[in-house]
Amino acid sequence: MLFGALEAGGTKMVLSIGNEKNEILERASIPTRGPEETIREMNEWFAARGISALGIGTFGPVELSEGSPKYGWITTTPKLEWIDTPLLPAMRGALGVPALIDTDVNAAALAEYELGAARGLRSCFYVTVGTGVGAGLVVEGNLVHGMMHPEFGHVLLRQEEDDPTPDGFCPYHKGCLEGLANGPAIEKRWGRSAKELPEDHPAWDLEARYLAQMCIAAICTVSPEKIILGGGVMQQKHLFPRIRAAVRERRNGYIATPQILEEIDNYIVEPGLGTASGAMGALLLARRAMQR
């Protein structure tokens, strides 16, 4: 039995075919153009491969309340052409197979929970730090959303005193997590792409402190059993020890669990599935759609 997995992004759509052993057998990537032509092209690709179910991890915001008439629609996205696009219905209808949709980061969190760094635990908090910042949360096997889905990238942080651009760059909130710590914020603050900044540049110490504030916010709200940090910016592996050190320093003795005091190297970690979490998560969503 074959399953379709779609990672729907603002710049590209990554399409995968997987099987019941969670093996990815085939992949393709197409640029994200207007919704009509992009969805048509994706439907043709999946239809030609005879999938039995489809899972979608998508950019958002996306309506995830199953009772809503807009369930599975992309809603108020900054990607204007895609506002109010019935992504899930348009694919499920054309392909005639069961389908499930969730956020890209919830899909990645699910994959890490089932198969990756949080395997065997009760909860998993997955953050991507890239063009945006977003987080997904799985608790006891459930992907967490309620009124909407988490928009963790827009939690407000405290400005660091040595930040040369402390106002931040989010068009909605200026100094929220995303506005202070995403890849574009690093570039605007220092006038150079994050990829080009050397390891000893002050950018990274500052970035680590913002990401430590982020981890502390996660610890103090949902207290996940594992925090997994992925995305382009986290390719800078030297950020991990800096973030862990800043979390320890700033928890200020208050959160005194073994995970923080003794095993923080094993608590704030890289994705166990590397860059495959997104595709694997969409595949697991397809399998869940089938089981229903």
Q: For binding to Zn ion (CB under 5 A), which residues are involved?
A: 154, 170, 172-173, 176
Cα–Cα distance measured from residue 194 to residue 192, given in angstroms and rounded to the nearest whole number: 6
| 130 contributes a contact to ligand ADP by CB under 6 A | yes
**Of Zn ion, ligand ADP, none, which one does residue 284 interact with (CB within 5 to 8 Å by kind)?**
none
Q: How far is the CB of 158 from ligand ADP (least distance, A)?
A: 23
Structural contact between residues 176 and 157, judged by C-beta atoms closer than 8 angstroms: yes
**Of ligand ADP, Zn ion, none, which one does residue 184 interact with (CB within 5 to 8 Å by kind)?**
ligand ADP
Q: Which two tokens stand for residue 247?
A: 């979390």
| 194 contributes a contact to ligand ADP by CB under 6 A | yes
| 57 contributes a contact to ligand ADP by CB under 6 A | no
Q: Would you say 78 or 241 has its CB closer to Zn ion?
A: 78
Q: Would you say 118 or 186 has its CB closer to Zn ion?
A: 186
Cα–Cα distance measured from residue 233 to residue 134, given in angstroms and rounded to the nearest whole number: 13
Q: Would you say 57 or 95 has its CB closer to ligand ADP?
A: 57
Q: How far is the CB of 211 from ligand ADP (least distance, A)?
A: 13
The 214-243 site mask, x for binding ligand ADP (CB under 6 A), equals -----------------xxx-xx-------
Q: Which residue's Cβ lies closest to ligand ADP? A: 183
Q: How far is the CB of 188 from ligand ADP (least distance, A)?
A: 10
| 119 contributes a contact to ligand ADP by CB under 6 A | no
Residues at the site binding ligand ADP, with contacts judged by CB under 6 A: 9, 128, 130-132, 183-184, 193-195, 231-233, 235-236
